[in-house]
Chain A
Amino acid sequence: MSPDKMVHMANQIAAFFNSQPGGGAAEKVAGHLNDFWEPRMRAQLIAYIGEGGAGLDALVLAAADHLNAPAA
């Protein structure tokens, strides 16, 4: 997946959870990614965040700690 597309998709998810009341948004973003993103997509995202995560919403960056790193 192109980094642009991945950033766009991740930011869309963040935008939804940003709008939700009740806190815990980072966990919710991570929960959504863990539930719906296939391991290689999450791996790509984690690697991208590791390289600085340019263009990603702050909430996606905050979600990084809660992402399940896929077992190889």
Chain B
Amino acid sequence: MKDLIIPWDEHDKGTPARTGAPVTLTIDGFEVTVPEGTSVMRAAAEAGIDVPKLCATDTLEAFGSCRLCVVEIDGRKGTPSSCTTPVVPGMVVHTQSEKVRRIRRGVMELYISDHPLDCLTCAANGDCELQDMAGVVGLRDVRYATGESHFEQFGPSGGNPLWAPKDESNPYFTYDPAKCIVCSRCVRACEEIQGTFALTIEGRGFDSRVSPGAGFDDFLTSDCVSCGACVQACPTATLQENSMIALGTPMRSVVTTCAYCGVGCSFKAELNGDTLVRMVPHKAGKANRGHSCVKGRFAWGYANHSDRILSPMIRGSIDEPWREVSWDEALSYAAKRLQDIQAEHGRRSIGVITSSRCTNEETFLVQKLARAVFLNNNTDTCARVCHSPTGYGLGQTFGTSAGTQDFDSVALADVVIVMGANPTDAHPVFASRLKKRLRAGAKLIVIDPRKIDLVKSNHIKATHHLALRPGTNVAVITALAHVIVTEGLADEAFIAARCEGDSFADYAAFVSDPRHSPEAVEALTGVPADEMRAAARTFAKGGNGAIYYGLGVTEHSQGSTTVMGIANLAMLTGNIGRPGVGVNPLRGQNNVQGSCDMGSFPQELPGYRHVKNADVRAIFEQLWGVEIDPEPGLRINNMLDAAVDGSFKGIYIQGEDILQSDPDTRHVAAGLAAMDCVIVHDLFLNETANYAHVFLPGSTFLEKDGTFTNAERRINMVREVMKPKAGMADWQVTQALANAMGADWAYTHPREIMAEIAATTPSFAGVSYDLIDRLGSVQWPCNEAHPEGTPTMHVDGFVRGKGRFIVTEYLATDEKTGPRFPLLLTMGRILSQYNVGAQTRRTDNNVWHEEDMLEIHPVDAEDRGVTDGDWVRLASRSGETTLRAKVTQRVSPGVVYTTFHHPETQANVVTTDFSDWATNCPEYKVTAVQVAPSNGTSDWQERYAAQAARSRRIEAAE
């Protein structure tokens, strides 16, 4: 068993840290100096003296309700609470005296008199602050006669009206009101940390109780999003993880990184032996600062799901059932088939797809397999289908493909644009941090066809919502720039100092043209001109302006152009190069950034360097002892085209389900079906595996060492919490496949792969596992100039030198609505499910989202005779599917919306293979469709389900 404890300060100092001028005071005779505004409680903790406390914790603002933390202060009357009393220079504090001891004991006695004394069988035994404090204050007996209580189900005269049953509606945690001390920590956590405001304290005095939402709500039906912040904050067993109730107190913990979204939250995996008991957000994690969402915190059950395939399997053709074989047999079978294909069809007839869910080290090896063993550049990644335009657009304007800030930066933003992203669902922890800033007064501009939650929710309201028609992003961005330039709001000093003069002159002339004015494009974009003008002024004049964007920007024919437009807007307003500003792509999957950095794209070696450059090739050629193909390779959609044409025959796909996630399912299926050797390396028999000949079992993020790079360029450690269930971690499998094809790779640990990355890639030159262990995480570029990484990019100059403005002409997509397909379909994801859902569908998260629904505006629904919950047929030029309708005003008339989490829906059957002009990133966000009532699944869905069932058969072992 491995016990990896990294030193970090977990000590709860009672109230949050402050910044301010130093103040010196004396506590129990010890002198201590702390920033102004610090509480006496925290000052004492800094001096090594813990004052007893119950309602205070340093993740929340002080509340001062329990009175356990009283102290005496010379010259002050009475016994003030140390958590709510700020320090004053020269203050003399006594944390112990007969008087305070008496008060504290009295307080504890009162609490304990209304608390069941079943500590030994309580789920929080050993993990309970009430227990600890009873010990600290020396509580020895409880004099209050138990009369009225909340914990006894029956009183002397029958039922006890104060008693309430447990609320077990949430699948992951239980609320047991009998144990509540009404400290309000949960309520405050839900407000201050998560920003959902789901909890309240109902009633007063002895009657007060915690309540989820109004009236009859339980946790499941309330606004609660199951982030776990309240569970984390609760000092008692009142709010407790069900896994801990079932499994007991964990004895060991390993710090690792969530494998779901691009926020990249740090977690402590808490275990007994190799049994995972719970995942707790790590307070020292710089991406999440101790917060989490339902996916990372609770949805890890898939790691043990019975659907996991743990043995390699092969078959001759996809009509045959699978046959379980040894690793050796599977690997040599795969290697032979790939080699035969290359012998017959040429070097460029096979390729790989790397995974944004796997580690940097694994991705590096997969692209190395293509370049150094296959000797071609046919490597691509699912980032193709999400953020490839970010790479191109930011590369052209700023010189590198990455977000410019860290997440902490949002706390300093004054105006935030959120465009084509839905952070509360897709990047929840970032959303919580954003909402905190908005509640403190920052302004928000939402540019999105849908009324996403950020537009209006508890204590949040967007200043402007530009509800544009899908596909008109470029027109909107250009019109915003028009207002800024023509109204003289541009930051001329920044532009003169930091940007290319010529490119700005061209750009300014271009956007000033009246045809780009908000009035001129109003009919096209559907955004009222005065709203657009107001938004532009708010952004340009509002102080620090930060732009966050997501796939609603990139997944369009003009995705790259919109990214450039966003970069233009940031330069135009001088919002680059310091905290609080910047251009920030919100990455979908956990390691999208990393998989791009690691050279997954067919034209780029690691570090975004084109394969045509001989000097870059030479670095790798020397190390690898091979000649690298100077020609760009095939992108995913090109691979599929080439497969249909017969010139591309074999593929190794690590951790991706292209059949479900990529557009135009029929085309993907045709491409896969045309290949002679499809190798799927995954946890489950995913949809793509229906077309596979070799299945190699994958390992979860809990089963291997490595690193993920999140949307802030932060390289976070992933640690092996348990041994790989199938015997090999993914990096070992790729290495074994390479070696079966004749390579002689000999990595014994992922740290050696990182060393190779650092040795070959300038922006990673300073990165090593030792460094990450020491700092907790590091943001690239990390090299001689930035030995501890780079939180903010382009501070003194752009990576490319001067920033370049690029003219962004709006060009309508060729996917147009017409009489047959009058509605526009756009797609997204929701909080509880993740991407193709392979993991989250195998957890209790399904209670929140059992199926994909089609959101449709009441007017469009009525026109078609569709009511809420009806089955509808969704058809486009590419195909059709059926799903159930949800009638809602979140979408505008003319627009429909769905998610793509469930394979039964196969929403991608309807998406087209139109794509971004520069990168071929598919245009998921705009498909012309028609909706009609239906009475069940489509023929395609039925055929598909039958074929899937047939191809998943596994031959019984003899």
A: residues with CB less than 8 A from B are 1-2, 5, 8-9, 12-13, 15-16, 19-22, 32, 34-41, 70
Known interface pairs A1-B638, A35-B610, A39-B631. Does A15 touch B506 (Cβ–Cβ under 8 Å)?
no
At the interface with chain A, which of B522-530, B719-727, B911-919?
B911-919
A9 proximity list for chain B (CB < 8 A)? 915, 917, 920
Tell me whether B769 is interfacial, beta carbon within 8 Å.
Answer: no
CA distance A39 to B502 in the complex (A): 34
Is B561 a contact of A16 with CB atoms below 8 Å? yes
A1 proximity list for chain B (CB < 8 A)? 638, 641-642, 645
CA distance A22 to B505 in the complex (A): 11
Separation in Å of the A31 CB from the closest CB of chain B?
10
Is B918 a contact of A39 with CB atoms below 8 Å? no
Tell me whether B809 is interfacial, beta carbon within 8 Å.
Answer: yes
Tell me whether B420 is interfacial, beta carbon within 8 Å.
Answer: no
Tell me whether B321 is interfacial, beta carbon within 8 Å.
Answer: no
Write the chain A residue with the least CB distance to B507: A21
Write the chain A residue with the least CB distance to B645: A1
Is A35 a contact of B632 with CB atoms below 8 Å? yes
Is A38 a contact of B917 with CB atoms below 8 Å? no
CA distance A15 to B917 in the complex (A): 9
List 9 A–B pairs whose Cβ atoms lie within 8 Å, in order of A's numbering: A9-B920, A12-B557, A36-B918, A38-B377, A38-B378, A38-B602, A38-B635, A41-B634, A70-B631
B645 proximity list for chain A (CB < 8 A)? 1
User: Scoring B residues 122 to 134 as 1 if CB is less than 8 Å from chain A, else 0, what string do you get?
Assistant: 0000000000000
B510 proximity list for chain A (CB < 8 A)? 21
Tell me whether B633 is interfacial, beta carbon within 8 Å.
Answer: yes
Is A40 a contact of B647 with CB atoms below 8 Å? yes
CA distance A32 to B886 in the complex (A): 43
Is B506 a contact of A38 with CB atoms below 8 Å? no
Separation in Å of the A47 CB from the closest CB of chain B?
13
B920 proximity list for chain A (CB < 8 A)? 9
Separation in Å of the B842 CB from the closest CB of chain A?
36
**Cβ-defined partner of B632 (8 Å) among A5, A19, A22, A37:** A37
Is A38 a contact of B807 with CB atoms below 8 Å? no
CA distance A33 to B918 in the complex (A): 9
CA distance A37 to B918 in the complex (A): 10
Sort A-B residue pairs by CB-CB distance and give the 10 closest, nearest first. Answer: A19-B809, A12-B917, A1-B641, A21-B506, A38-B634, A39-B631, A15-B811, A16-B917, A13-B917, A20-B807
Interface centre among A1, A9, A19, A38 (most CB of B within 10 A): A38
CA distance A12 to B638 in the complex (A): 16
CA distance A32 to B377 in the complex (A): 17
- Residues 176 to 221 of chain B near chain A (Cβ within 8 Å): none
Interface centre among B602, B632, B920 (most CB of A within 10 A): B632
A16 proximity list for chain B (CB < 8 A)? 561, 809, 811, 917-918
Tell me whether B570 is interfacial, beta carbon within 8 Å.
Answer: no
A39 proximity list for chain B (CB < 8 A)? 348, 631
Besides A5-B913, A13-B918, A19-B807, 5 other CB < 8 A contacts?
Answer: A8-B814, A36-B603, A38-B632, A40-B642, A41-B634
CA distance A12 to B660 in the complex (A): 26
B415 proximity list for chain A (CB < 8 A)? none
CA distance A6 to B542 in the complex (A): 45
**Cβ-defined partner of B638 (8 Å) among A2, A15, A21, A41:** A41
User: Scoring B residues 788 to 809 as 1 if CB is less than 8 Å from chain A, else 0, what string do you get?
Assistant: 0000000000000000001101
CA distance A21 to B509 in the complex (A): 10
Tell me whether B451 is interfacial, beta carbon within 8 Å.
Answer: no
Write the chain B residue with the least CB distance to A33: B632
Separation in Å of the B701 CB from the closest CB of chain A?
32
Write the chain A residue with the least CB distance to B505: A21
Q: How many A-B residue pairs have CB under 8 A?
A: 65
Separation in Å of the B387 CB from the closest CB of chain A?
16
CA distance A9 to B561 in the complex (A): 15
CA distance A7 to B631 in the complex (A): 21
Tell me whether B308 is interfacial, beta carbon within 8 Å.
Answer: no
B890 proximity list for chain A (CB < 8 A)? none
Is B641 a contact of A5 with CB atoms below 8 Å? yes
Tell me whether B612 is interfacial, beta carbon within 8 Å.
Answer: yes
Known interface pairs A13-B917, A13-B918, A35-B603. Does A21 touch B557 (Cβ–Cβ under 8 Å)?
no
CA distance A29 to B482 in the complex (A): 27
CA distance A16 to B918 in the complex (A): 9
CA distance A9 to B637 in the complex (A): 12
CA distance A16 to B502 in the complex (A): 19
B506 proximity list for chain A (CB < 8 A)? 21-22
**Cβ-defined partner of A38 (8 Å) among B561, B638, B809, B814:** B638
CA distance A70 to B631 in the complex (A): 8
B377 proximity list for chain A (CB < 8 A)? 38
User: Scoring B residues 879 to 922 as 1 if CB is less than 8 Å from chain A, else 0, what string do you get?
Assistant: 00000000000000000000000000000000001110111100
Separation in Å of the B939 CB from the closest CB of chain A?
25
Is A36 a contact of B632 with CB atoms below 8 Å? yes
CA distance A22 to B915 in the complex (A): 26
User: Scoring B residues 600 to 620 as 1 if CB is less than 8 Å from chain A, else 0, what string do you get?
Assistant: 001100000010100000000
Is B631 a contact of A38 with CB atoms below 8 Å? yes
Write the chain B residue with the least CB distance to A11: B917
CA distance A40 to B643 in the complex (A): 12
B647 proximity list for chain A (CB < 8 A)? 40
CA distance A21 to B809 in the complex (A): 11
A12 proximity list for chain B (CB < 8 A)? 557, 811, 917
CA distance A15 to B633 in the complex (A): 24
Known interface pairs A35-B632, A38-B602. Does A21 touch B917 (Cβ–Cβ under 8 Å)?
no
CA distance A38 to B914 in the complex (A): 18
Write the chain A residue with the least CB distance to B631: A39
Known interface pairs A21-B506, A39-B348, A41-B638. Does A32 touch B918 (Cβ–Cβ under 8 Å)?
yes
User: Scoring B residues 346 to 359 as 1 if CB is less than 8 Å from chain A, else 0, what string do you get?
Assistant: 00100000000000
Write the chain B residue with the least CB distance to A41: B638
CA distance A15 to B807 in the complex (A): 12
CA distance A12 to B918 in the complex (A): 8
A41 proximity list for chain B (CB < 8 A)? 634, 638
B918 proximity list for chain A (CB < 8 A)? 13, 16, 32, 36
B917 proximity list for chain A (CB < 8 A)? 9, 12-13, 15-16
CA distance A32 to B506 in the complex (A): 21
A36 proximity list for chain B (CB < 8 A)? 603, 632, 635, 918-919
Write the chain B residue with the least CB distance to A10: B917
CA distance A38 to B918 in the complex (A): 14
Separation in Å of the B270 CB from the closest CB of chain A?
47
CA distance A7 to B483 in the complex (A): 36
A5 proximity list for chain B (CB < 8 A)? 641, 913
CA distance A34 to B630 in the complex (A): 11
CA distance A39 to B377 in the complex (A): 11
**Cβ-defined partner of A35 (8 Å) among B612, B806, B807, B915:** B612
CA distance A37 to B647 in the complex (A): 15
B638 proximity list for chain A (CB < 8 A)? 1, 38, 41
CA distance A12 to B813 in the complex (A): 10
CA distance A20 to B603 in the complex (A): 23
Separation in Å of the A6 CB from the closest CB of chain B?
9
Is A38 a contact of B915 with CB atoms below 8 Å? no
CA distance A12 to B913 in the complex (A): 14
CA distance A5 to B506 in the complex (A): 32
CA distance A41 to B647 in the complex (A): 11
Separation in Å of the B820 CB from the closest CB of chain A?
19
B561 proximity list for chain A (CB < 8 A)? 16
Separation in Å of the B502 CB from the closest CB of chain A?
8
B806 proximity list for chain A (CB < 8 A)? 20
CA distance A35 to B612 in the complex (A): 8
Is B807 a contact of A21 with CB atoms below 8 Å? yes
- Residues 478 to 525 of chain B near chain A (Cβ within 8 Å): 502, 506, 510
A35 proximity list for chain B (CB < 8 A)? 603, 610, 612, 632
CA distance A9 to B193 in the complex (A): 46
Write the chain B residue with the least CB distance to A20: B807
Separation in Å of the A69 CB from the closest CB of chain B?
11
Known interface pairs A5-B641, A15-B917, A20-B806. Does A38 touch B811 (Cβ–Cβ under 8 Å)?
no
